[in-house]
Amino acid sequence: MRNFVYLIGTQDDFESLDDLQHEYFNDLSGSEPDRRNMSVYPVSLDESCKVQGYDTLEEIATMIARGEAMTNDWCLDGTLSILLEV
């Protein structure tokens, strides 16, 4: 099983992908994060997972998490997003 998290945040609140990742990792450390406008979507996939049209588990995880984000009123315009393996 491989575990991923998809981070998405507004460009109004985050200057870069590094800034977005820093916010996420600060949250995990137990320190007081800024609580800027972002969401985290975890995805776990079995190594044998295959989807036609996608070559890697990272591609599949990105599409699943991005779909979750879009159903929660996020859009790609004006946002930064990244998939991390955890």
- pTM for this one? 0.87
Residue 25 corresponds to which amino acid?
A: F
Residue 17 corresponds to which amino acid?
A: L
**Residue pLDDT tens, the chain, 86 long:** 999 999 999 999 999 999 999 999 886 655 555 567 899 999 999 999 999 999 999 999 999 999 999 999 999 999 999 999 99
